[in-house]
Amino acid sequence: MISYDRLWKTMREKGVSQYALIKKHGVSPSQITRLKRNESVSTHTIEMFCRILDCRVEDIMEYIKEEQ
């Protein structure tokens, strides 16, 4: 499973709110909802967040192995 918990931590550290993502950077509210639910998003979306937050992919997402 891909977890986006690191995204929210990075946003807090950088002082970027969800409101700023939507209003200032043009991020779709539906994309934010998908990330909150740990649903799949495109690599374009990941790249956009890396650019906005000036961070690496590892600062946004991580793979968590699910137990069988």
Give 10-24 pLDDT, tens digit per residue. 999 999 999 999 999
Q: Is residue 68 scored above 80 in pLDDT?
A: no
Q: Is residue 66 scored above 90 in pLDDT?
A: no
**What's the whole-model pTM score?**
0.87
Q: Does residue 46 fall inside a structural domain?
A: yes
Q: Find all residues with CB under 8 Å of 5, minimum gap 6, and list them.
A: 62
Q: Does residue 6 fall inside a structural domain?
A: yes
Domain boundaries, position 39 = 2-63
- pLDDT over 90 percentage in the chain: 96
Q: What is the pLDDT of residue 13?
A: 96
Number of folded domains in the chain?
Answer: 1
Task: Kindly tell me the burial class for residue 52, based on how many C-beta atoms sit within 10 Å of its own C-beta (0-12, 13-18, 19 or more).
Answer: middle
